[in-house]
């Protein structure tokens, strides 16, 4: 059973461009979570999704950030018009049916904004 | 969300036990105590969790105080691969998100 997969592992964007980060949960997992880790800081929750539904987006910045988890395919975290402050490691996690189950994390996508 | 307090850093010698403390004096009855760790340049990894009773698994043991206001993660024999940041997290039942603090950076010396 493959683990949580994220791609790309490294992404470089110039200011003003769009960044799309993908997350494929573990097989059979229907809950996806996104976290962000700024340099030298701890992880911060961003959003929690189930298939086709956003359950909790309390940690998402109000502008430029969006997330989806379609019926088919990976979950996508989209950042429009990136700024240097968006440079961070973005981690995705998944869990099975119950939302309180253990979360399994992917290796992360390291976004660098030039 | 209830807050946890951990020491910023700890050191251990290889092959010796390590006790990582966590204070959570404002814990509520529906809060589970979770521990995750993050190795350098990797995503967090689940270690163990519990509610009231002590718990053991292949990675570690979790000792929970009787009043639940503190807990201790026990690594029975530290190895160099255990060097990581260890996060103690309170997770309320029916809550999806994990609230990470600063964690404890564990250094393991050969």
* Nearest-neighbour CA in chain B from A27: distance (Å): 18
Bond prior to A8 in cis (omega within 30° of 0): yes
Cβ atoms of A45 and A2 closer than 8 Å: no
Q: CA A102 from chain center: how many Å?
A: 17
Confidence of residue A1 (pLDDT cuts 50, 70, 90): low
Looking at residue B104, its pLDDT comes to 97
Partner residue facing B43 (CB), from A31, A42, A105: A105
- Report CB contact under 8 Å: A45, B97: yes
Structure tokens at B56: 């053991």
Looking at residue B93, its pLDDT comes to 77
Residue range A4-30: mean pLDDT, rounded: 96
Looking at residue A15, its pLDDT comes to 97
Looking at residue B1, its pLDDT comes to 61
Looking at residue A4, its pLDDT comes to 96
Q: CA A65 from chain center: how many Å?
A: 10
Angle at A74 between CA A68 and CA A77, to 5 degrees: 40
Looking at residue A63, its pLDDT comes to 95
How far is B76 from B96, CA to CA, in rounded Å? 30
Residue range A33-40: mean pLDDT, rounded: 92
Looking at residue A40, its pLDDT comes to 80
What count of Cα atoms within 13 Å lies in the side-chain half-sphere of residue B95? 17
Q: How many CB atoms lie within 10 A of CB B57?
A: 11
- Annotate B11-34 with DSSP letters as a single string: EEETTS-EEEEEE-TT--TTEEEE
- Report CB contact under 8 Å: A106, B43: yes
Q: How many CB atoms lie within 10 A of CB A19?
A: 22
- A·B CB contacts under 8 A: 57
- The list of chain B residues with pLDDT below 50 reads none
Angle at B35 between CA B34 and CA B39, to 5 degrees: 150
pLDDT digits (tens, 9 = 90+) for A84-109: 999 999 999 999 876 667 899 999 99
User: What DSSP designation does A26 have?
Assistant: P
- Annotate B35-85 with DSSP letters as a single string: EEEE-TTS--EEEEEESSS-EE-SS-EEEE-TTSSEEEEEESS--GGG-EE
Q: How many CB atoms lie within 10 A of CB A77?
A: 26
Cβ atoms of B52 and B65 closer than 8 Å: no
- Report CB contact under 8 Å: A55, B96: yes
* Nearest-neighbour CA in chain B from A56: distance (Å): 8
Looking at residue A39, its pLDDT comes to 85
Looking at residue B105, its pLDDT comes to 96
Which among B4, B48, B1, B10 has a CA at the least distance from the CA of B23? B4
Cβ atoms of A55 and A74 closer than 8 Å: no
Residues of chain A whose beta carbon is less than 8 angstroms from a beta carbon of chain B are 4, 31, 33, 35, 42-45, 48, 55-56, 58-59, 91, 93, 95, 99-100, 102-108
How far is A25 from B54, CA to CA, in rounded Å? 30
């Amino acid at each position: 059973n493959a683990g949580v997969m994220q791609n790309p592992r490294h992404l470089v964007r110039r200011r003003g461009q769009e960044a799309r980060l993908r997350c494929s949960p573990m097989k059979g997992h229907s809950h996806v979570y996104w976290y962000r880790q700024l340099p030298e800081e701890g992880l911060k929750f961003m959003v929690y999704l189930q298939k086709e539904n956003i359950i909790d987006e309390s940690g998402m910045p109000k502008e430029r950030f969006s997330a989806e988890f379609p019926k088919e395919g990976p979950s996508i975290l989209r950042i429009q018009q990136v700024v240097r402050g968006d440079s961070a490691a973005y981690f995705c996690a998944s869990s099975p049916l119950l939302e309180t189950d253990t979360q399994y994390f992917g290796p992360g996508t390291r976004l660098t904004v030039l | 969300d209830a807050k946890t307090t951990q020491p910023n850093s700890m050191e251990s010698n290889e092959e010796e036990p390590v006790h990582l403390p966590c204070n959570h004096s404002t814990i509520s009855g529906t809060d589970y105590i979770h521990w995750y760790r993050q190795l350098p340049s990797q995503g967090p990894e689940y270690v163990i969790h519990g509610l009231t009773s002590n718990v053991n698994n292949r990675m570690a043991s979790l000792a929970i105080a009787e009043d639940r206001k503190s807990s201790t993660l026990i690594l029975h024999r530290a190895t160099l691969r255990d060097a990581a940041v260890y996060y103690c997290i309170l997770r309320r039942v029916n809550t999806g998100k994990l609230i990470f603090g600063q964690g404890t950076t564990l250094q393991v010396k050969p």
